[in-house]
Amino acid sequence: MTDPLFEYLCRMGDSTLVLGHRVSEWCGVAPVLEEDIALANTALDLIGQTQLWLGLAGEVEGKGRDADALAFHRDVWEFRNLLLVEQPNGDFGRTMMRQFLFDSWHLSYLKGLAGSSNDQIAAIAEKSVKEVTYHLERSTDTVIGLGDGTEESHRRMQDALDRLYPYVGEMFLTDAVDTAMTEQNIAPDPATLRPAFDAHLDAVLQEATLTKPQDNFAHKGGKTGARHTEHLGHMLSQMQWLQRAYPGATW
């Protein structure tokens, strides 16, 4: 049986890795220069967090795999990221809605991890909170600005919310790995974070003049590796091809 702590660390690292790569796809093609720079910085923050999470995962596993090996030499069914983060960028509005939904969960979860009984996890969370606080401020402002903007921007943001909301529920599902982490006081129970998330989401959507979908159906399977969308495989084929073609290459 896989060590629950290793599984857990991969969940954290894989989600930031996949989202970091997705956001980096905007580099050089964002709507305006300021957004290009801001998105690139967000991607760098997420990849930096990935190095810490997956680096620690490699230490816990004890098989000689470092963060790079875990990122570039695992196949799609070995990834444990949330399904939300692997969704394609779409237009700028969809990218920022995805970012907002993830940031809203991410910040509250990291704050819970700051009190972890595992000192290394607590240290990673404490460092990451500073970065993700900015991420959430920016994505919140953008969702409000576009949602309550022009008729076109409002329509696009509502479409983005309708498309992405079904992936929100997975962030709060609790399974055996989450239970093991909670019992050891390593991490909070994801389900306990849902009320605060919903309250924040409702407040932002009201200001953005957007309507939250009433259907609470939740896609799941990403963080357990049981199911991913077809988008992850295509993304990994781009992200991993250099290391797969030239194993161990350095520069």
pLDDT in tens, 74-104: 999 999 999 999 999 999 999 999 999 999 9
Place of tokens 């997975």: 170
Least reliable range by pLDDT among 50-64, 154-168, 170-184, 233-247: 233-247
What tokens appear for 116 in the block? 């972890």
Average pLDDT over residues 193-200: 97
What tokens appear for 97 in the block? 């809605």
Please state the separation of Cα 223 from the chain's center in Å. Answer: 11
Q: What's residue 1's pLDDT? A: 59
What tokens appear for 13 in the block? 């690292």
pLDDT score of 226 more than 90: yes
pLDDT in tens, 122-179: 999 999 999 999 999 999 999 999 999 999 999 999 999 999 999 999 999 999 999 9
Distance CA(86)–CA(170), nearest Å, equals 13
Q: How many CB atoms lie within 10 A of CB 56?
A: 21
Average pLDDT over residues 197-203: 98
Q: How many CB atoms lie within 10 A of CB 155?
A: 12
Average pLDDT over residues 38-61: 98
Q: What's residue 248's pLDDT? A: 80
Cβ contact 97:176 at 8 Å: no
Cβ contact 209:148 at 8 Å: yes
Averaged confidence pLDDT in the chain? 96
DSSP state letter for 76 = G
Helices marked H in the chain — which ranges? 4-24, 33-61, 67-72, 92-113, 119-147, 151-164, 176-183, 194-207, 230-239, 241-245
Distance CA(109)–CA(118), nearest Å, equals 15
Q: What's residue 213's pLDDT? A: 97
Q: What's residue 201's pLDDT? A: 98
Q: What's residue 251's pLDDT? A: 73
Average pLDDT over residues 239-247: 92
Average pLDDT over residues 55-69: 97
Q: How many CB atoms lie within 10 A of CB 185?
A: 11
Percent of the chain clearing pLDDT 70 (strictly above): 100
What tokens appear for 45 in the block? 């923050």
Where residue 179 falls (left for φ over 0; alpha for ψ -120 to 50; beta otherwise) is alpha
3-state secondary structure of 11: helix
Cβ contact 210:158 at 8 Å: yes
Average pLDDT over residues 211-240: 95
pLDDT score of 119 more than 80: yes
